[in-house]
Amino acid sequence: MTNTSLHFDEMLLETDEPRNPYQTYFEWFRSEDVKALRRKSAEAENFFRRIGITFNVYGQEEADERLIPFDIVPRIIAAKEWRTLERGIEQRVRAINAFLHDIYHRQEILRAGRIPREIIAGNEAFLPEMIGVKPPGGVYTHIVGTDLVRTGEDEFYVLEDNARTPSGVSYMLENRETMLQMFPELFSQLKVRPVSAYPQLLRRSLADSCPANSPNAKPVVAVLTPGTHNSAYFEHAFLADQMGVELVESTDLRVEDGYVSMRTTQGYQPIDVLYRRVDDDYLDPLTFNPNSLLGVPGIMDVYRAGNITIANAPGTGIADDKALYSYMPDIVEFYTGERAILKNVPTWRCSEPDSLKYVLDNLADLVVKEVHGSGGYGMLVGPAASKKEIAAFEKKLRARPANYIAQPTLSLSTVPILTKAGLAPRHVDLRPFVLVSPNRVDITPGGLTRVALKKGSLVVNSSQGGGTKDTWVLGD
């Protein structure tokens, strides 16, 4: 592979020599038979298919269940690089929790004029039902997935903060397990920090967030899933199994004696902590969507009384709303008194007339996203779009400008994937997983690297044809 890229290549320098973190891997790769590696790649795919690691694609009847492609070339991050990311992520996560407490209580940041009131008022992600409610332990975002992109040797940007129900951690764990099985010799040569403790850390973190007045001798944790048809059901079941806790659906739960209880073979047992993978709107039909069959009638009353911890707390979506994203440097500074360690991507809010005009004049060069969008849906990648697609998107943008934000097309870093022709660079992002409890923040050394498998593509989402890689953080 020759480095002719204009983008920052995480493996190769311009001289085609490997960067320091990749030195040992690069030498190992050159000594390997590429045909044997391709066979290993097919083995990995068969392994994922056998254990059922699939995801659902909504609205596509012909292929509603797919395997996420896995690339066997790891992404390698040096210890020093990771330390910078850790500091920046922890700072950001602490600021988000402080912001959520403030926005549902005194709203000091609005009084100070650091964020316009209209960003919060009328925003569908803001839940008035949470005003004045303090979660047990004061934690709003127990699990956070911070999406990062890299543009240079020391340049990392936060693309978005996933503070509602971030997914993908099961792929991080299974990717590592697969690589350990296929290439044990590499792990003996490189000091790769382990990620396998995540389920135990998750359980500890959730248990530490238990309500003070629990009726149980030991904290009882359960995972609430919408059911087998949900796109992330594999992950719900996987995490419940790995933590050694019950996986429950709404039909397994009921409110009694002021607590939420789950059905067991010995009768109903009160739950202390519910790790919910159900969206806010479906959580309680008595408080939110009355037609919901996925939630628990009355759970919000129990929550307001302080008798259950819901992870993540209802209403956390306001913190990762894309309309609020451009204010994150202000939010970090307001609550920590420090400048943000990790940069934000420059962002135009299309609700503002001057910004809208700029975005409309430069659609072919920008990435435009829905403020409540996710999964790569409802977005325009200007440089990759046809004139017809740009014209159609312009109409949507003019009709509902407040529904969109726009960002420049960043020169995302690349990491090689294994192709039929050998190694080839592809764009990547990174989602590290963060656990927050009342007394600590744990950041798993690694995360989910998502990779755009199409040459030149910047869209890494699995729903849009992207794949995943194992992420190796090296020890000192």
36-74 pLDDT, tens digit each: 999 999 988 888 877 766 555 444 444 455 678 899 999
Sign (positive/negative) of CA torsion 371, 141, 452, 426?
positive
> Which sequence spans correspond to the domains of the chain?
20-211+308-341+410-473, 346-408
Tokens of 249: 């659906």
Residue-level pLDDT at 62: 44
Helix axis angle for 233-243 and 198-208, nearest 10°, is 80
Output the CA torsion 287→290→296→300 (10° steps): 0
CATH of domain 346-408: 3.30.1490.270
- Indicate yes or no: pTM above 0.85: yes
- State pLDDT tens for residues 134-160: 999 999 999 999 999 999 999 999 998
Instruction: Provide the residue type at 149 as one letter.
Output: V
Do 418 and 73 contact (CB within 8 A), yes or no? yes
**Per-residue buried b or exposed e for 70-105, using 16+ beta carbons within 10 Å of the residue's own CB:** bbbbbbbbbeebbeebbebbbbbbbbbbbbbbbbbe
The number of helices, as runs of H, and strands, as runs of E, in the chain is: 14, 23
- The percentage of the chain sitting over the pLDDT mark of 70, rounded to a whole number, equals 94
The shares of helix, strand and coil residues in the chain, as percent rounded to the nearest 5, are 35, 25, 40
- State pLDDT tens for residues 377-402: 678 988 888 999 999 999 999 999 98
- State pLDDT tens for residues 333-390: 999 999 999 999 999 999 899 999 999 999 999 999 888 766 556 789 888 889 999 9
Highest mean pLDDT among 111-120, 167-176, 199-208, 465-474: 199-208
Share the mean pLDDT of the chain. 91
**Per-residue buried b or exposed e for 375-386, using 16+ beta carbons within 10 Å of the residue's own CB:** ebebbbbbeebe
Matching residue, tokens 């008798």: 307
Residue-level pLDDT at 59: 46
Q: Which own/partner contact pairs does 242-249 have at CB distance under 8 Å and 24+ positions apart?
A: 242/173, 242/199, 243/199, 243/200, 243/202, 243/203, 244/203, 245/203, 245/221, 246/222, 247/222, 247/223, 248/222, 248/223, 248/224, 249/224, 249/225, 249/294
CB-based contacts of 180: which residues, under 8 Å, 6+ apart?
Answer: 187
Residue-level pLDDT at 60: 45
Residue-level pLDDT at 63: 44
Of 220, 176, 65, 159, the closest CA to residue 408 belongs to 159
Helix (H) or strand (E) holding 124: none
Residue-level pLDDT at 58: 42
Query: ∠ at Cα 384 (324, 380), nearest 5°?
Result: 30
CA distance 88 to 84: 6
CA distance 343 to 335: 17
- The percentage of the chain sitting over the pLDDT mark of 90, rounded to a whole number, equals 78
Tokens of 389: 């697609």
